[in-house]
């Protein structure tokens, strides 16, 4: 169950994200971090999201975006098969 919560949190972060330009890093996808901190910490440890603890938002890493897109396909296929 914990793995599904982590997967779905990453997917929600991606689906509710927006593109933002950064002078140092170029274009990034940011999302508000209104999710349990334990899950956000695990996603940060997995290098799927990044951001400071003081910030109210996080940005998705390239790995996080790739994983979120894979999860979107996985869960859409599961819904189609039901």
What token pair was written down for 15? 């689906």
Among 2, 30, 3, CA closest to 16: 30
- In a 13 Å sphere around the CA of 7, the CA atoms on its Cβ side amount to 11
How many domains does the chain fold into? 1
Domain extent for 50: 2-80
Q: How does residue 17 score in pLDDT terms, banded at 50, 70 and 90?
A: very high
Give the residue with greater pLDDT, 53 vs 67.
Answer: 67
- Reply yes or no on whether the pLDDT at 78 is more than 90: no
User: Percent helix, strand, coil in the chain (nearest 5)?
Assistant: 50, 20, 25
**What CATH number should be reported for the domain holding residue 6?**
1.10.10.10
């Amino acid at each position: 169950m914990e793995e599904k919560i982590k997967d779905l949190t990453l997917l929600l972060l991606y689906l509710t994200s927006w593109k933002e330009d950064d002078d140092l890093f170029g274009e990034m996808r940011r999302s508000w971090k209104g999710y349990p901190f334990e899950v956000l910490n695990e996603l940060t440890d997995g290098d799927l999201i990044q951001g400071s603890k003081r910030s109210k938002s996080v940005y998705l890493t390239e790995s996080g975006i790739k994983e979120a897109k894979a999860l979107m396909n996985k869960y859409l296929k599961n819904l189609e098969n039901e």
